[in-house]
Amino acid sequence: MPRRHVLPAAVAAGLLAAPLAAVPAHADAPAGGRTAEVESYDGTKIVTYFFPARGLAAGAKAPTVLLGHGWGGRAATDVATGDLAALTGAGYNVVTWNARGFGSGGEANVDRPEIEGRDAVKLIDWTAKQPEAQLDGAGDPRLGMAGGSYGGGIQLVAAGLDRRVDAIVPTIAFTNVRRSLYPDDVFKAGWGLLLCAGGLLNGNKVAGPVVRGCGEGLLTGVLSDRTATWFEGAGAGDLVKKIKAPTLVLQGTVDTLFTLREGIGFYRQIKANGTPVKMVWFCGGHGECSTKPGPQSHLTDLTLAWFDKYLKKKAATATGPGFEYVDQDGVYRSAPAYPPAATGALTGRGKGWLFVNPLDSSGSQVAAAPAGNALTIPIPAPKKDAQALGVPHVKLSYKGNAVNDHTALYAQLVDQDTGLVVGNQATPLPIVLDGKARTLSRDLEAVSWKIAPGSRLALQITPGTALFTGQKAIGWAEVTDASVTVPTVARGPVAAQ
């Protein structure tokens, strides 16, 4: 039996793991596999590996899974560990590759459809020519895709471009880099630094606009219109509307780079296509899981079941309810789809003053933490056990004065009993402190948190968090009225594990 607990493990650390150690650009043929240089549309050579399904008899054929790697990383080549071992052990051929700029020729362009997307199409062409590849027709391999982060984003691009993709499992994925790194024109400086380091170290080569974005974002906290527009085209974007491949969305509750709302967005679009789709929220991703993560094998079991149903065409394979979510006790619960039926909402209201200065910060580069300098608004507990689940909303009336008056405050939900920010998430609230009375309305990042009659949640509004670029304004803000609404649902049935 394969070590099924390992499939999500490699992507849980995501971008952080790959840049920390030097990785060879080109390896010889690995044990159990073979290597090739696949020529892409522009002549760029993509270093590619093929691993037959474990135990595949001579002359036999099997479905194939393309397994992508994270930003700044390299192809998986160890058939004894990780995702590669789980997939080949479950009866799938696996193709891995060094993305352009990351051990292959060319420069990384952040999963742009017209570049990395066309690379993926060429890899599918090549896969169809492999003797072990099961075909659905001439040049059409029975094909799935897996992988996280950068390797998740490319799945959405490829499935939107090429109908030969038969099933995908995008994990902690994205469709729009600008929206993820620069929400409301506020730069995620913590992740920006890590991404830039991962892209520029270890002999990696990235496109000029990426280098420019690193310089602008890290030095000033502001992207030029030219750079922001370029990043708008990085990722699948509207190609998601063309996806017909059955899709299993795995998104992390504590992922502060590609947040739950990113997964909700492409889940809804794919569902609107009439495509089979399931979404699972797990404690992991780009960030820190500071609560119980739940059974390690769960995501792997769901992934292999998904491929068994849609690649091996085992119609009787159960893939479970259409939506699963984990709580802070590591328990997976389920609902037929997202969003589950609402049972109401928790609401809080308050007001107060904040002094704003560049010294204000809290948390780490990847995880928000309770702030010392903050307006804290208690949120009354529910009358019975429930789950805070979905997208909270904040409305703000304020006025103030500051040097550098166009700035941002940050909103986060805090569990005052545990001392944790729910999901480690903070959301920028762009404000103008020019003495005028103004209002603001914003959705916060989505949450999944078990609550009860004794729960003590609160909304914190703070001038600074290490997740985003440092505060540059100096002055004060009076919040004359702030309200928060947190959607709640009944705790669903425990998911089969």
For 151-188, write each residue's pLDDT tens digit. 999 999 999 999 999 999 999 999 999 999 999 999 99
Beta bridge partner(s), residue 355: 476
**What mean pLDDT value characterizes the chain?**
93
Q: For 123-160, write each residue's pLDDT tens digit.
A: 999 999 999 999 999 999 999 999 999 999 999 999 99
The fold adopted by the segment(s) 345-489 is Jelly Rolls (2.60.120)
Tokens of 360: 């204000």
Q: Three-state secondary structure along 88-155?
A: HHCCCEEEEECCECCCECCCECCCCHHHHHHHHHHHHHHHHCCCCECEEECCEECEEEEEECHHHHHH
pLDDT at site 21: 30
In the chain, domain spans: 4-335, 345-489
Q: For residue 30, what pLDDT is reported?
A: 81
Mean pLDDT value of segment 468-496: 96
Pick the CATH number of 4-335 from 3.10.110.10, 1.10.10.10, 3.40.50.1820, 3.40.50.20: 3.40.50.1820
Share of the chain above pLDDT 70, in %: 94
Residues 457 and 311 sit within 8 Å (Cβ to Cβ): no
Question: pLDDT-derived band of residue 31, with 50, 70 and 90 as boundaries?
Answer: confident
394 has which bridge partners?
442, 484
Q: What are the pLDDT digits (tens) for 63-80?
A: 999 999 999 999 999 999
Provide the pLDDT for residue 23: 37
The DSSP-derived string for 421-440 is EGGG--EEEEEEEES--EEE
In the chain, how many H helices and how many E strands? 10, 22
pLDDT computed for residue 198 by the predictor: 92
User: What is residue 187's predicted lDDT score, i.e. its pLDDT?
Assistant: 94
Q: Over 80: is that where the pLDDT of 261 sits?
A: yes
pLDDT tens per residue, range 293-335? 999 899 999 999 999 999 999 999 999 999 999 999 999 999 9
Residue 142 one-letter amino acid: R
**Per-residue confidence (pLDDT) for residue 28, from 0 to 100:** 64
- Alpha-carbon distances, residue 464 vs 181, 369, 412, 435, 475 (angstroms): 17, 11, 11, 21, 13
Q: At what angle do helices 189-200 and 208-220 cross, to 10 degrees?
A: 140
Equal fold, 4-335 vs 345-489: no
Q: How confident is the model at residue 17 (pLDDT cuts 50, 70, 90)?
A: very low
pLDDT of residue 382: 96
- Per cent of the chain over pLDDT 90 is 91
- Is it the case that residue 12 has pLDDT exceeding 50? no
Query: pTM here?
Result: 0.94
pLDDT at residue number 496: 80
Output helix, strand, coil percentages for the chain, rounded to the nearest 5: 25, 30, 45
Overall residue count recorded for the chain in this entry: 497
Higher-pLDDT residue of 295 and 5 is 295
Cα 147 from Cα 157, distance rounded (Å)? 13
The CA distance from 279 to 289, in Å, is 19
